Amino acid sequence: MKIKRIIIFLLIFQIFISCSQKQDIENNSKKEIKIAYVLGGGAFRGYSHIGVLKTLETNNIYPDFIVGTSVGSLVGALYATGIDSHELQKLSLSFVSNSLMNFSFLNPGFFDKNTLKKLLDGHLPESFASLKTKFFAVATNLNNGSPTLFSSGDLRKSVLASCSIPILFAPEYIKNIPYGDGGLVSPLPVNFAKNLGADIIIASDISLQPDPIDLETGKFSLFLQSLKIMNKSLIKHEEKNSTFIIKVDTNFLSSFSDKTREMAILKGEEATKKIVDELKLFIEKNS
């Protein structure tokens, strides 16, 4: 009788141990997913990124890291300081766009960057290490045309480099290398986010889309259309690696108009609301 009880006890104990081990295996197999925000270039249409961030934040979605190019690096760096999206909106609307565009006749660019530098000095820490959220800025090496990812060192200079649109602004020198706008080679840097180990990549695309044009309207219209086409081709190469891409309609926005800033933010919110329910389900399913 005693032997029978001992055998039953051992069997129950073995079943308990097996179940515990199985639960441990299941728990260990669940990895923490990494969410990346990718913020593309688009000059003053960058206000749309703020609308995207507001909607994601309202739905309790936050990034593990942010990759930004051009104006996306400016918005991304500010957000990575720990400021919430509503504070970011208030701050951005306090900027006077005209004050950022001071003509320069001495530098190799139509405008100087002094006002932009002061803005960054006043709102960004000196180092990447001081940010609350990990952040990466994409710029273009103007010596060889290769994309460069900055993640350490002088944060302000890295953002300036990423925002230095050739001809409009002089190159930004870092360690004696001239850097220009990241949008030249990576207007929507999804591949960087993927290579950095992101499991879920949420990309905000605020680029201008090609429209039918009347070739009689002049050379500038044709030049602008050419830029749109090249930009679209670069984005198409990268967007396929995003998990969710938020395409904000910005074609009707004037890049340098203060009047359209609030509309740009609203458009970012609207575009994000279209995908946010599906995004939340995807995150829940993969967590």
Residues recognised as catalytic? 70, 181
C-alpha 247/C-alpha 105 separation (Å) is: 37
Q: Which residues contact 266 (CB under 8 A, 6 or more apart)?
A: 51
Pairing of strands 147-150, 134-141: antiparallel
Contact 114, 102 (CB under 8 A): yes
Q: How large is the angle between the packed helices 155-163 and 71-80, nearest 10 degrees?
A: 150
- Three state DSSP letters for the chain: CHHHHHHHHHHHHHHHHHHHHHHHHHHHHCCCCCEEEEECCCHHHHHHHHHHHHHHHHCCCCCCEEEEECHHHHHHHHHHCCCCHHHHHHHHHCCCHHHHCCECCCCCCCECCHHHHHHHHHHCCCEHHHCCCEEEEEEEECCCCCEEEECCCEHHHHHHHHHCCCCCECCEEECCEEEEEHHHCCCCCHHHHHHCCCCEEEEEECCCCCCCCCHHHCHHHHHHHHHHHHHHHHHHHHHCCCCEEEECCCCCCCCCCHHHHHHHHHHHHHHHHCCHHHHHHHHHHHC
Q: Which residues are 150's β-sheet partners? A: 137
